[in-house]
Amino acid sequence: MRTPLGFAVAPGRNGQVVPPDEFNDWPEAKRVETEAAVAALEKDLEHIIHQIPLWQKQRRDEIREHNRETARYAASQLIDEAVEAFRDIPRIIQHIETVRADVVENVEMFVAKSEDTEDGPADGRPGYPFERYEVNVLVTQDGQGAPVIEELHPTLGNLTGRIEYVSLRGVLVTNFRLIKAGAMHRANGGYLLLDARSVLMEPFTWAALKRTLRRGEITIEDAGRFMGLTSTVSLEPEPIPLKVKAVLFGDRLLYFLLAELDPELSEHFKVLADFEDDFARSAETEAVFAKLLARLIRPKARPYRGGHWTCPSVPAKVIPCGLM
């Protein structure tokens, strides 16, 4: 019989437990014989109870192995077709084989998905569990030269990237598909243009810019953590190697103030290009200015009968577009 302390063995008659008072009225020889039998059965029962967790573990392991074999057989055909399509790209083959191993190892997730009710998936996410095999493309480039990116709103998230969250049953959750690229990711391998005034007006941006240039790698940081506003568990993506030419542009006075207050400016921005606001008017400077305008509007110019270039927006007699 089962007791609050576990299983126990007691004398019985006709399928009922013998009460203690009735048991004490039995002849002594019968009581001794019954107590000896009870002691022997209790010893066997204790051994069996100790074996039950091991049997349960063996049963679970056998079921899990059976599910793995079934999943391996069910997924092999589709995965083998994908492997054959990318046979000449080893890194994709390695990724597909990793997906195969993960499907076999976590087949219980797919079994649970097939048993979901009409209210939605058990996990609450529409793409679960297949979303774990998707790819989050952070940056795409057309391959036509180095990228030139100008970030007009250089917040910390827009500069170094950010991690977004979605609300799931009242809790903020995230995954790798919610990692978003920043301007530094898009400008990696090229040039990043930043307005100095905008950078200095955003909290944490100037320090993050210097830290990123010094380390030579992009680390996605959450401004909420700096201010103690984020209490949920988040991701920590690995840093990405950075090779970029950062260009700050702004007022002359702003540069000199920043150089005076931050001695690290010259460490990260070694080249100073200072443009004059005006210049003396002469025949030579007018010709240079005309050439500059011609170069700027050349894509919109069209030829005319004399073989010279005319500009649609400016009379040909005023600015000789063909003089380069």
> Pairing between strand 12-13 and 6-7?
unpaired
* Average pLDDT over every residue of 266-295: 87
Q: What is the pLDDT of residue 156?
A: 92
User: Per-residue pLDDT tens for 120-160?
Assistant: 444 555 567 788 888 889 998 877 789 999 999 999 999 99
Question: What is the 8-class DSSP label of residue 237?
Answer: P
* Average pLDDT over every residue of 81-85: 91
Answer yes or no: is pLDDT of 109 > 50: yes
Per the structure block, which two tokens stand in for 276?
A: 């004059």
What is the set of domains in the chain, with CATH numbers?
2-131 (no CATH), 144-268 (3.40.50.300), 276-324 (no CATH)
Answer yes or no: is pLDDT of 213 > 90: yes
Q: What is the pLDDT of residue 323?
A: 37
Q: What is the pLDDT of residue 300?
A: 54
Answer yes or no: is pLDDT of 87 > 80: yes
Return the higher-pLDDT residue of 241 and 226. 241
Q: Which of 105, 109, 108, 112 is nearest to 72 (CA)?
A: 105
Answer yes or no: is pLDDT of 303 > 80: no
Answer yes or no: is pLDDT of 317 > 70: no
Q: What are phi and psi of 273, to 5 degrees?
A: -115, 110
**pLDDT tier at 320 (50, 70, 90 boundaries)?**
very low
Model pTM?
Answer: 0.63
Least confident of 72-76, 105-109, 274-278: 274-278
* Average pLDDT over every residue of 219-225: 81
Q: Where are the alpha helices (DSSP H) in the chain?
A: 20-24, 28-85, 90-105, 107-114, 156-160, 183-187, 196-201, 205-215, 223-226, 252-261, 265-268, 283-297
**pLDDT tier at 243 (50, 70, 90 boundaries)?**
very high
Contacts of 274 (CB under 8 A, 6+ apart): 252
* CB crowding 243-271: b at 16 or more within 10 Å, else e: ebebebeeeeeebeebeeeeeebeeebee
Q: What is the pLDDT of residue 197?
A: 94
Q: What is the pLDDT of residue 209?
A: 95
Answer yes or no: is pLDDT of 229 > 60: yes
* Average pLDDT over every residue of 223-243: 78
Residue type, 313: S
Q: What is the pLDDT of residue 299?
A: 60
**pLDDT tier at 230 (50, 70, 90 boundaries)?**
low
Q: What is the pLDDT of residue 318?
A: 40
Q: What is the pLDDT of residue 274?
A: 84
**pLDDT tier at 314 (50, 70, 90 boundaries)?**
very low
Least confident of 66-80, 137-151, 219-233: 219-233
